[in-house]
């Protein structure tokens, strides 16, 4: 076993590897860039080596610098985490030349699975299900129909040189194939100067399901069940779970055995993932193999009890797998939410800045429910523009899927983050979405269920009543504290506090009465009493307690004359008045926000890469105006309507804050 390993990564995955290494008694070396000088993984490791400037190409992606760091510290092995150098064949080769062990698969396996076309050929040779299709030249509509009949409907007709949806048709019958073939050839010729098309099976309502495999250097390979990762946006996973609500035991075994066959065919000898696209009928087809540890590996660890990082280290040290396939048992259900520094209301654009508040829910096990939070940040730390915007991975495990989802929803409600925008409101809304709860998933879920983008829901029904009760309890506590302030002038006689209140939840009014009960207070709404019990104190970002006998967590943010409350995927400004005050407030004029329609505002903090227009230039709707880069993403900002550019405030190279004015229009 190694005495010391280096982690060639940053953020939560570096912290994750350090935790396992520490438990195994292995010393760790962190590497860091200028931007990560004060990062959590640097603090956690036994040693740390500075690599260079913030851009990854000059630090985390520089193989020579990482090899030099190993030599400097005496690290015997390197864990690559995920991303960066984890799937670059050149990295383990360079380490091997320096006499350093790579904690991952051998270079040949990385190369075999890194090329998408070659990997599909390898999968087909290993008798893994691949998408049925005909890749040869199709001469005429009759041949196209014959091929489609053999494949089975629906089919996708695609231009061989295609892209951007040109020369692409979906056909559900022989008649549609004949017509689609002609249209696809015509489009392909005009768009690409190449009229060749091919046909493959079209998977309707596809799901993304992957199999975790684990191999050693002695030829042993096993599979550890599956993960479902169908909840995606822009092809990036948002929520993962294990096992999948789609699969039965027979399909799981079939997928697992095919994944193992592929892994053995390429001599795979570490943790890896074979990804499949699956139909709603449980049909499945090979997509690709990721030759590294996956971001979502915790859900597999939770249902199997196997530490994948530990197994990777043991395999790299030459040990045989300690498990056979028969030893692998799946217990309960696990759900993982990826918490990102991004604004879901602004089409998930990245958000950067300082974590003024970072209070994750309590980790550990309570009853049959476990909560785990993998993170690489801390309160007061900064979210940099240079790297992936992930803040944490929140994982819950319980005996059933329903319980794991309920636990995840409660944990998200208790997760307080301030200082940046984040996607917790969106994740919370997803946990309460009926289609998600029913397991009716597909990779198009977010696009189908949120076609106009995400907007936090206004509280209704049971959720609204909980928010009303908490808002009234917070206001009552505030009033009680104010009456304890010393030195106040007191009127003659007994002061009676008005217990009849009007709670405004956004535009909606709820009339309540505050009653004293033995253990505190009860909020009475529509004749029903809601007992309230909580140890919450003003200033705490999360209100926790019981409402009507049910344990709840509610996010609390102070606003002028009230609080902003978020719970169960719904959010609202809450203000509590006397009944007379509520009548007067209803008469107050509303402030109308200023019209910013004639200005282009920077949607997130970032760097101006390109300004595509000049002052006085006329632009058409959809025309690119500029490119702003943040967190490795280049965001093209386009004109929303026809206009003339009157003033440009930003130039290439400028670093802008959110809502900074880039240009104005007439």
97 catalytic? Reply is: no
Report the C-alpha gap between 75 and 18 in whole angstroms: 14
Report the C-alpha gap between 3 and 22 in whole angstroms: 11
User: How would DSSP label each residue in 600-649?
Assistant: EE-SSSEEEEEE---TT-EE-TT-EEEEEEETTEEEEEE-SSSEEEEEE-
Report the C-alpha gap between 30 and 417 in whole angstroms: 26
DSSP H helices, 455-558, are 461-482
Report the C-alpha gap between 426 and 404 in whole angstroms: 18
Using CA atoms of 185, 187, 188, 193 in order, give the dihedral in degrees to the nearest 10. 110
φ/ψ of residue 42, rounded to 5:
-70, -40
Rounded to 5 degrees, what angle do the CA atoms 125, 130, 132 make?
115
Three-state DSSP class for 363? coil
| Residue 392 buriedness (CB in 10 A; 0-12 / 13-18 / 19+) | buried
Q: Pick the catalytic residue: 288, 379, 623, 629?
A: 288
Between the two ends of the chain, the Cα-to-Cα distance in Å is: 69
Q: Tokens in use for 136? A: 């040869």
Report the C-alpha gap between 579 and 498 in whole angstroms: 9
Report the C-alpha gap between 6 and 72 in whole angstroms: 11
DSSP designation for 326: G
Closest among 476, 498, 484 to 574, alpha carbons compared: 476
- Catalytically annotated residues: 288
């Amino acid at each position: 076993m190694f005495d010391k390993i280096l982690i060639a990564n940053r953020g939560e995955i570096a912290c994750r590897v350090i935790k396992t290494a520490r438990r195994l008694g292995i010393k760790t070396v962190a590497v860091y860039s200028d931007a990560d000088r004060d990062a959590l993984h640097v603090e956690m490791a036994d040693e740390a080596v500075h690599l260079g400037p913030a851009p990854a190409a000059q630090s985390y992606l520089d193989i020579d610098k990482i090899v030099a760091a190993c030599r400097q510290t005496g690290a015997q092995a390197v864990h690559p985490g995920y991303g960066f150098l984890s799937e670059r064949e050149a990295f383990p080769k360079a380490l091997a030349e320096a006499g350093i062990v790579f904690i991952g698969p051998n270079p040949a396996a990385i190369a075999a699975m890194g090329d998408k076309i070659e990997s599909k050929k390898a999968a087909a040779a290993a008798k893994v299900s691949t998408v049925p299709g005909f890749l040869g030249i199709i001469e005429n509509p009759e041949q196209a129909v014959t091929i489609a009949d053999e494949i089975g409907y629906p089919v996708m007709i695609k231009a061989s040189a295609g892209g951007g949806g040109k020369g692409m048709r979906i056909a559900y019958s022989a008649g549609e194939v004949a017509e689609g073939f002609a249209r696809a050839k015509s489009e392909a010729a005009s768009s690409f100067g190449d009229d060749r098309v091919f046909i493959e099976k079209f998977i309707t309502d596809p799901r993304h399901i992957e199999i975790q495999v684990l191999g050693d250097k002695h030829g042993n390979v096993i599979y550890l069940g599956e993960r479902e990762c169908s909840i995606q946006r822009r092809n990036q996973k948002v929520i993962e779970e294990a096992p999948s609500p789609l699969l039965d035991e027979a399909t799981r075994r079939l997928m697992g055995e095919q994944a193992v066959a592929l892994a053995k065919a390429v001599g795979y000898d570490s943790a890896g993932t074979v990804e499949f696209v699956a139909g709603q009928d449980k049909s499945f087809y090979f997509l690709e193999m990721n030759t590294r540890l996956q971001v979502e590996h915790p859900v597999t660890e939770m249902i199997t009890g196997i530490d994948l990082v530990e197994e990777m280290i043991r395999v790299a040290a030459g040990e045989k797998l300690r498990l056979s396939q028969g030893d692998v048992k799946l217990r309960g259900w696990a759900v993982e939410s990826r918490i990102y520094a991004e604004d879901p209301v602004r089409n998930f654009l990245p958000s950067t800045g300082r974590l003024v508040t970072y209070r994750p829910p309590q980790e550990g096990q309570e009853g049959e429910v476990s909560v785990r939070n993998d993170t690489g940040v801390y309160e007061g730390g900064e979210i940099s523009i240079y790297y992936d915007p992930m803040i944490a991975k929140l994982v819950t495990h319980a005996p059933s899927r329903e319980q794991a989802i309920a636990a995840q929803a409660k944990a998200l409600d208790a997760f307080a983050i301030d200082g940046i925008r984040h996607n917790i409101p969106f994740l919370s809304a997803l946990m309460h979405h009926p289609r998600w709860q029913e397991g009716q998933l597909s990779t198009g879920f977010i696009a189908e269920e949120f076609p106009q983008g995400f907007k936090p829901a206004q509280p209704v029904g049971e959720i609204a009543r909980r928010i009303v009760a908490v808002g009234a309890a917070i206001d009552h506590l505030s009033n009680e504290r104010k009456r304890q302030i010393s030195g106040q002038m007191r009127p003659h006689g007994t002061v009676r506090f008005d217990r009849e209140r009007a709670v405004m939840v956004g535009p909606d009014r709820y009339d309540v009465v505050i009653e004293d009960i033995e253990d505190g207070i009860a909020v009475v709404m529509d004749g029903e009493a809601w007992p309230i019990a909580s140890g919450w104190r003003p200033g705490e970002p999360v209100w926790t307690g019981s409402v009507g006998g049910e344990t709840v967590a509610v996010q609390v943010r102070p606003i002028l004359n009230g609080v902003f409350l978020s719970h169960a995927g719904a959010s609202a400004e809450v203000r509590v008045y006397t009944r007379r005050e509520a009548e007067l407030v209803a008469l107050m004029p509303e402030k109308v926000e200023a019209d910013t329609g004639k200005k282009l505002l920077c949607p997130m903090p970032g760097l101006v890469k390109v300004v595509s227009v000049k002052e006085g230039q006329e632009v058409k709707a959809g025309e690119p105006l500029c490119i702003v880069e943040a967190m490795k993403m280049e965001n093209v900002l386009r004109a929303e309507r026809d206009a003339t550019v009157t003033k440009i405030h930003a130039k290439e190279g400028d670093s802008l804050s959110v809502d900074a004015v880039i240009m104005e229009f007439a």
